[in-house]
């Protein structure tokens, strides 16, 4: 049985920007979690090693010598789009972009190319993706997650750890937890992830953690109400107190005029029959209720 | 980053898009000289970034250089939504046969640029979209192929123009698209784009918001006039130190790590009847340095009665965070009450360090929020 979505035991990843502080530190933590990191790359550092992982100058070279199907990018913002193009050209299909502050124009170009090649981009500006006990391709603290039944899609980092902890404490645990990313342009939407979780056998319920800005939450609500969804979905939306026109930390967390308010998102979810948690701790409680009811 | 009207106009002009002739004045005499040079009735427009400038009385009209001088004096003594006016843009008053709308912006859900046009300009485009959606023309743009000549002609046609006028308008729209992409604009807008009685077009008001993340490609925006007047002292300090900070109206200072968690913290404070004074994200690490900068910013706001620090240590260790908070407290030296919520790796050790120092630590974010609101209320009476 294939467990979780996008990444699992079969994921073999390269780390782009492996010799940087972040890249090297998190390569160690990912290896400790059991993630298969087969190679790293940093232009000019080819021939060295980081935590036992061989480093190459180009992705082409790394791919020739190692069998890889995913990449995680820690490259600084001005060079991150280039790193993404390089790995897209090598036909890798799952790419996690941790880098923050990538210009919108660059992100649009990357998403265009990824769409043409049928590649999945997680991020940018994301904590990454984790399929519990199988693969962690990201910077999230592993200890808050535990093998379980709830799939999480989120637009934030620490808030996700908060809610994931709640699920762990209640014994529900997680199947796959995926950070969509805090930028205005990101590769995956809630709808994309809902589709995947629908097909995933490990996932019994889904938590969507949204925030102000954009309309991914509204689109998810529309998807659930028009297409129907076989698994319980609970949502939380951060930013009820956010004033319009101000960026709340994330580049993508901004109310433009009247679009992107928490109110609009919460109303859309409620209209679609998706339960909305008032506080982060309510997410686990509501999911437990929903799952309990379903099991009866 | 929002550009001032005079900055945006200069860029539009550089792309050969017709704009009313005008100039920037920082005193009444300069305004008079500009008005003499323009030699027509003029509009005198306060250069501020806040929305709703016109409604707040920030645009005046003058029929003579003398009047322009007076209008400038009046505006320079004005505050618009709390912001002191530091300069005015004096420009030729343009009469309109018709007011149009055109913008190029980012379409988040389609992950592309989008051109938006309307025959109903001069008002808020969202109102037009809500009331008369049929009057909005939208073209999704594939960045690889761009917004092409035929796209521009099609838009001009749909706005009701044909023949030479259609071609004229289309060429303006094309240049506008080029401007938006090259300048890394999140939004480049002409509203209104005026059709003059003689049938020519002119971008009477323009707005550009540059993508903050692309500023490294645009060193020309590194140093800008008037900008500091738009920011509170706290916002200025946060900008200098690279912290994400937004000033709000309440009396409870908030510090947290991670944008989503801080937003959820503000929401929790409000849920329990409190009112947050700010949004402040110290980022993942929450080091002693960052904590003291953050505390300094919060404490420089005299309205703050109590501070709520909400840290979820992921990979960061809580004992380090706790020492950071103590170090920051020592450096800043403050007496206002503080509620701390601290969980994550090594949380017992972190809690012990803070408890020993006489700081109350909670492990539920919601209980901590409740407690903070209680303290704020008690101190308010």
CB < 8 Å to A250, chain B: 259-260
Determine contact, residues A27/A17, Cβ cutoff 8 Å: no
pLDDT the model gives residue B75: 96
Rounded CA-CA distance A155/A235 in Å is: 12
Cβ–Cβ under 8 Å, residues A100 and A125? yes
Closest CA of chain B from A113, distance in Å: 9
What's the gap in Å between the CA of A231 and the closest CA on chain B?
24
H or E stretch at B109 = none
The residue extents of the domains of chain A are 12-122, 140-295
Rounded CA-CA distance B352/B359 in Å is 10
CB contact under 8 A, A105 and B143: yes
pLDDT tens readout for residues B47-77: 998 878 888 999 999 999 999 999 999 999 9
Q: Does B94 touch chain A (CB under 8 A)?
A: no
Q: Which chain A residues are Cβ-neighbours of B256 within 8 angstroms? A: 158
Band (pLDDT 50/70/90 cuts) for residue B83 is confident
Closest CA to B43 of B76, B68, B19: B68
Indicate whether A1 pLDDT > 80. Answer: no
* Burial class of B164 by CB neighbour count within 10 A (0 to 12, 13 to 18, 19+): exposed
Task: Mention every residue, 6+ apart, whose C-beta is less than 8 A from residue A296.
Answer: none
pLDDT at B234: 87
Write down the CATH number for the domain with range A12-122: 3.40.50.720
| Residue B379 pLDDT class (50, 70, 90 cuts) | confident
The ranges of chain B annotated as CATH 3.40.50.261 are: 231-380
Is some CB atom of chain A closer than 8 A to the CB atom of B278? no
Span of B113-122, B202-211, B330-339, B359-368 with lowest mean pLDDT: B330-339
List of residues 6+ apart from B278 with CB closer than 8 A? B234, B245, B246, B247, B248, B253, B254, B297, B298, B301
Residues B165/B166/B169/B175 CA torsion (nearest 10 deg) = -130
| Residue ranges matching CATH 3.30.470.20 in chain B | 98-221
CA distance B284 to chain A (A): 8
| A290 min Cα distance to partner chain B (Å) | 22
CA distance A93 to B259: 29
pLDDT in tens, B203-230: 999 999 999 999 999 998 887 777 777 7
Q: Is B375 on the interface with A (CB under 8 A)?
A: no
- B314 reaches A (C-beta below 8 A): yes
Q: Taking CB atoms and an 8 Å limit, are B181 and A105 in contact across chains?
A: yes
- Smallest Cβ–Cβ distance between B260 and the set A102, A156, A281 belongs to A156
The confidence score (pLDDT) of residue B149 equals 97
For the record, the structure tokens of B133 come out as 């959606």
**DSSP 8-state secondary structure symbol assigned to residue B85:** P
CA distance B113 to chain A (A): 8
Q: What is the pLDDT of residue B109?
A: 94
Greater pLDDT, A279 or B379: A279
By the 8 A CB rule, do B34 and B234 touch?
Answer: no
Listed by number, the residues of chain B in 287-306 with a beta carbon closer than 8 Å to a beta carbon of chain A are none
Selected catalytic residue, list B101, B113, B161, B245: B101
Can you name the CATH fold of B231-380? Rossmann fold (3.40.50)
Q: B98-221, which class in CATH?
A: alpha beta
Chain A hits for B248, Cβ within 8 Å: 241, 243
A296 confidence band (pLDDT: 50, 70, 90): very low
Region B355-370 average pLDDT: 91
What's the pLDDT at B116?
Answer: 97
Confidence of residue B11 (pLDDT cuts 50, 70, 90): very high
Q: Interface pTM (ipTM) of the complex?
A: 0.94
Instruction: Write out chain B residues lying below 8 Å of A106, CB-based.
Output: 214
What confidence score (pLDDT) does residue A164 get?
A: 96
CA distance to B153, B165, B201, B204, per residue, from B198 (Å): 20, 11, 9, 15
Mutate which of B83, B213, B277 to disrupt the A interface (most A C-beta within 10 Å)? B213
> If we measure between CA atoms, which residue out of A125, A271, A265 comes closest to residue A209?
A265
pLDDT tens digit string along B84-124?
A: 999 999 999 999 999 999 999 999 999 999 999 999 998 88
| B381 belongs to the catalytic site | no
Q: Which of A104, A215, A253 sits opposite B259 (nearest CB)?
A: A253
Q: How many CB pairs under 8 A join A and B?
A: 171
Chain B residue at shortest CA distance from A111: B111
The whole-chain average pLDDT of chain B stands at: 92
CATH 3.30.1490.20 domain residues, chain B: 21-92
User: Whole-angstrom Cα distance, residue B193 to residue B201?
Assistant: 7
Interface contact A209-B260, CB threshold 8 A: yes
Protein fold of B21-92: Dna Ligase; domain 1 (3.30.1490)
Task: Answer whether B257 sits within 8 Å of A140, measured CB to CB.
Answer: no
Cα–Cα distance, A249 to B306 (Å, whole number): 22
Tell me the pLDDT tens digit for each residue of B225-245.
777 777 888 888 888 888 899
Determine the pLDDT at residue B380: 78
Q: Is it true that the peptide bond before B192 is cis, omega within 30 degrees of 0?
A: yes
SS3 content of chain B, % helix, strand, coil (to 5): 40, 25, 35
Reading the block at residue A181, the tokens are 């990313």
> pLDDT, tens digit, for every residue of A57-112?
999 999 999 999 999 999 999 999 999 999 999 999 999 999 999 999 999 999 99
- CB distance B108–A253 less than 8 Å? no
Look up the pTM and report it. 0.94
CA-CA-CA-CA torsion for B105, B106, B109, B112, nearest 10 degrees? 110
- From the options 3.20.20.140, 3.40.50.2300, 3.40.50.261, 3.40.50.720, give the CATH code of A140-295: 3.40.50.261
The average pLDDT across A160-171 equals 95
Beta carbons of B186 and A104 less than 8 Å apart = yes
Question: What is the per-residue burial (b if ≥16 Cβ within 10 Å, else e) of A65-94?
Answer: ebebbbbbbbbebbbbbebbbbbbebebeb
* DSSP bridge partners of B98: B195
Domains A12-122 and A140-295 agree in fold? yes
Chain A touched by B114 (CB under 8 Å)? no
| B29 in contact with A, Cβ within 8 Å | no
Greatest Cα pair distance in chain A:
60
């Amino acid at each position: 049985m294939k467990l979780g979505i996008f990444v699992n035991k079969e994921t073999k990843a390269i780390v782009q920007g492996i010799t940087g502080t972040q890249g090297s530190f998190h390569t160690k933590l990912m290896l400790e979690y059991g993630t298969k990191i087969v190679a790293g790359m940093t232009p000019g550092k080819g021939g060295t090693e980081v935590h036992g992982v061989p480093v190459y100058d180009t992705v082409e070279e790394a791919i020739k010598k190692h069998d890889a199907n995913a990449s995680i990018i820690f490259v600084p913002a001005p060079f991150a789009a280039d790193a993404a193009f390089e790995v897209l050209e090598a036909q890798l299909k799952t790419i996690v972009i941790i880098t923050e502050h990538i210009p919108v124009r660059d992100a649009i170009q990357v998403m265009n190319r990824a769409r043409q090649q049928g590649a999945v981009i997680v991020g940018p500006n994301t904590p990454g993706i984790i399929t519990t006990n199988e693969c962690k391709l990201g910077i999230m603290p592993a200890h808050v997650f535990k093998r379980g039944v709830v799939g999480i899609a989120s637009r934030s980092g620490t808030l996700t750890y908060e809610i994931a902890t709640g699920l762990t404490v209640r014994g529900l645990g997680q199947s796959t937890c995926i950070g969509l990313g805090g930028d205005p342009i990101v590769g995956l939407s809630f709808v994309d992830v809902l589709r995947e979780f629908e097909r995933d056998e490990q996932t019994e319920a889904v938590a969507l953690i949204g925030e102000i800005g954009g309309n991914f939450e509204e689109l998810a609500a529309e998807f659930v109400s028009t297409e129907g969804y076989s698994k319980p979905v609970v949502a939380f939306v951060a930013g009820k107190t956010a004033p319009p026109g101000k960026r709340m930390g994330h580049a993508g967390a901004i109310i433009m005029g009247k679009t992107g308010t928490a109110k609009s998102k919460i109303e859309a979810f409620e209209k679609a029959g998706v339960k909305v948690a008032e506080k982060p701790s309510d997410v686990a409680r509501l999911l437990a209720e929903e799952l309990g009811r379903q099991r009866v | 980053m929002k550009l001032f009207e005079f900055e945006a106009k200069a860029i539009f002009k550089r792309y050969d898009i017709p704009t009313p002739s005008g100039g920037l004045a920082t005193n009444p005499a300069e305004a008079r000289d500009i008005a003499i040079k323009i030699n027509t009735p003029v509009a005198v427009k306060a250069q501020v970034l806040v929305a709703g400038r016109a409604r707040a009385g920030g645009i005046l009209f003058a029929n003579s250089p003398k009047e322009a001088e007076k209008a400038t004096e009046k505006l320079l003594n004005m505050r618009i939504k709390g912001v002191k006016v530091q300069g005015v843009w004096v420009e030729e008053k343009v009469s309109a046969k018709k007011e149009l709308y055109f913008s190029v912006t980012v379409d988040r859900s389609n992950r592309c640029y989008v051109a938006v046009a309307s025959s109903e300009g001069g008002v808020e485009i969202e109102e037009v979209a809500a009331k008369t959606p049929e009057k909005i023309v939208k073209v999704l743009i594939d960045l690889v192929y761009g917004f092409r000549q035929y796209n521009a002609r099609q838009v001009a046609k749909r706005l009701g123009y044909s023949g030479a006028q259609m071609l004229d308008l289309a060429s303006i729209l094309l240049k506008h698209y080029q401007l938006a992409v090259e300048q890394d604009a999140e939004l480049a807008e002409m509203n209104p784009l005026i059709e003059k009685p003689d049938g020519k077009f002119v971008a009477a008001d323009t707005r550009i918001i540059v993508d903050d993340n692309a500023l490294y490609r645009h060193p020309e925006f590194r140093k800008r006039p008037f900008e500091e007047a738009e920011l509170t002292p706290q916002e200025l300090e946060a900008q200098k130190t690279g912290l994400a900070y937004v000033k709000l109206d309440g009396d409870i200072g908030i510090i947290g790590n991670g944008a989503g968690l801080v937003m959820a913290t503000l929401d929790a404070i409000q849920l329990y009847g409190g009112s947050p004074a700010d949004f402040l994200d110290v980022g993942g690490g929450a080091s002693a340095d960052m904590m003291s900068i953050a505390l300094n910013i919060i404490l420089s706001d005299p309205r703050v009665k109590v501070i709520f620090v909400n840290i979820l240590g992921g990979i960061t260790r809580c004992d380090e965070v706790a020492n950071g908070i103590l170090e920051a407290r020592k450096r800043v030296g403050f007496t206002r009450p503080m509620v701390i919520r601290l969980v994550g790796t090594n949380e017992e050790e972190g809690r012990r360090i803070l408890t020993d120092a006489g700081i109350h630590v909670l492990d539920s974010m919601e209980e901590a929020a409740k407690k903070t609101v209680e303290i704020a209320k008690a101190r308010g009476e």
